[in-house]
Chain A
Amino acid sequence: MVTLANRVSRWTLPAFALALVNFLLAEALILAGLTWPARSVSAPGTLAAVHLLVIGWLLLLMLGALFQFVPVITARALASQRLALLTLLAIEAGLAAMVGGFLAIGRHPALALALPAGGTAVLLGVLLAIFNLGVPLFGARPLALPGRMVLSGLAFLLVTVALGLSFALAFTVPPLAPYLAVLLYAVGDHALAGLGGWFTLTAMGVSYKLLPMFMLAPEERGVAGECVHVLGAGGFALAVGAGLARVWVAAEALRVAQDSGYMAIAIAVMIYLWDIVRIYRTRKRALIEAHNRAAAGAFGFLGLAAALAIGFAATHRLGAGAPLIIFLVVFGWLGGLGLTQLYKIIPFLTWLTRYGSNLGRGAVPRVQDLVRERRSYPWFALYFLGVLLGAACVLAGHAGGLRPSLALVTLATVGLLIEYWRAWRGHYAHGRRDASAPPSFVSNQRG
């Protein structure tokens, strides 16, 4: 009668699983002492771990989420589910080659060619994803704010990957080095376009839909939302664009433009955080669920990272402070938001794939029945505590304290992974049934 499952993104849960594995691998590299701060910021181990984090964990996480999210906000299907799978495969294979390539730089020149080869595969995966998501997004114009923010984010993703690939070619293909090596001055712009223009703008756009939806708050963000988008996208474009131009042209005007871009970004982040508080305050659903309670930690880290960045910039130490800002953004803001939202999205997708078709035919658990929220709180707390401790150590000049702090973060990640796994396996939902208590049967909810 009604065709089922065409609204569920097939490759989203596998993308999340892969992303989490990459996250654990990166944490293992850091704990093993192969990265900053034990090694230099540009050490091969650091670059490998950074890209395991930003491509393996955050990019796969975000694309997996968008494959489900974009059809929700556009009410249109992806161009193709199969292309989504190809994206995952191209990115994961490309990443594996990139990691190998990073570790081979300076040791095995031939093997280091895996870096640009892997980067090309990542670029291919990203292009496929942009097409796949672009079809429903373009079909649904005029887009509401979340959709427009995702589109802006995707443009920055393309810039990021293209820059990264240019670096890789400069490092590993000597004939190209004379033309491309100068771009290496723009490594900060590569990081800003990726972590800011792409991840942060997109996460903001997604949160603008999901937070009101789950908390029953007004979705219309009005002038504030528009300001966040325009100042954010404009600020990142100005900062990255002027930063890139400064590689070739040493004009004072470009420095001013770059600083104006930073300023616009800082203002956008402040308005966004204020608006997020407004969403929590104007929610209609009295109870805040665990994923959104814990998300407050991620929003806090976004604010902290922005405040520190402003402080570093004001004292002309942005370069020296960059590793700390990157750490806070990757682990605190983006990673924190990812881990907390997964605690909702995984049970929801599990419900759709495993229980949805029983609706109307018998007992069906609620999404909430698939998790045990109070079990998640200690892990979320430990995660954010670990990130905070690590940041405090670096800030206080005891960079050595970062690794022990990361051990807490890793432990918390494993704890949360077990909770996600339990949600997927129906551990708590089945537990109830076995206990022969009524499995929160739908008719309980009646008057």
Chain B
Amino acid sequence: MSTPAALNREFVLDALHEVIDPELGYNIVDLGLIYGLDVDSGVIKVTMTMTTPGCPAQDYILSGVYERGISLPGVRDVTIDVVWEPAWSPQKMTPLAKAHFGIQD
């Protein structure tokens, strides 16, 4: 899995599971913070949000996404677009994360 040939959306998403929102203590993928992800000729383009605007951890989370992405074999660059629309809500979590936090649908 470590050859550039494997560099696709799923592979990158899988790697981004290692980046957490420190306060909620859960990975940003299952929290539903990643709104869009494209991989094109070695460039990862992420569109994502934060649980709350102005979150003091924002820059660290962005840096975490960048660092995790750029460390993948074959990646030349990582660009991150932070958006606030649509606003994040706990409903955006995956069923797994919802179960972890005890959130009912």
Contacts and interface: CB of A to CB of B under 8 A. Distances in A.
A355 B78 CA distance: 22
Contacts of A7: 54-59
Contact of B22 (A3, A216, A364): A364
A164 to B, nearest CB: 33
Contact of B56 (A68, A214, A286): A68
Interface residues of B, number: 40
B27 interface: yes
Interface string B40-79: 0000000000011111111111111111111100000010
A355 B22 contact: yes
Among A3, A68, A71, A284, the one with the most B-chain Cβ atoms within 10 Å of its Cβ is A284
Given A216-B101, A286-B103, A355-B22, A360 B56 contact: no
Given A216-B103, A359-B63, A360-B19, A447 B30 contact: yes
A74 interface: yes
B22 A351 contact: yes
Interface of B: 17-20, 22-23, 25-27, 30, 51-71, 78, 80, 90, 94, 96, 100-103
A141 to B, nearest CB: 15
A351 B59 CA distance: 13
List 10 A-B pairs, minimum CB-CB distance, nearest first: A286-B102, A359-B64, A360-B64, A360-B67, A366-B25, A356-B60, A360-B68, A75-B54, A72-B54, A2-B63
5 contacts: A7-B59, A351-B57, A359-B19, A359-B64, A443-B17
Given A351-B57, A360-B66, 11 more contacts: A2-B66, A4-B60, A216-B90, A285-B90, A348-B22, A351-B22, A356-B63, A360-B67, A366-B20, A445-B17, A445-B100
Interface of A: 1-8, 68, 71-75, 213-214, 216, 284-287, 348-349, 351-352, 355-357, 359-361, 364, 366-369, 440, 442-443, 445-447
Contacts of A5: 59
A335 to B, nearest CB: 24
Nearest to B79: A1
Nearest to A140: B54
B102 A442 contact: no
Contact of B102 (A285, A361, A368, A369): A285
A360 B23 contact: no
A355 B62 CA distance: 14
B61 to A, nearest CB: 7
A428 to B, nearest CB: 14
Nearest to A348: B23
A193 to B, nearest CB: 29
A360 B18 contact: yes
A359 B70 CA distance: 13
Nearest to B25: A366
A72 B50 CA distance: 12
B63 A360 contact: yes
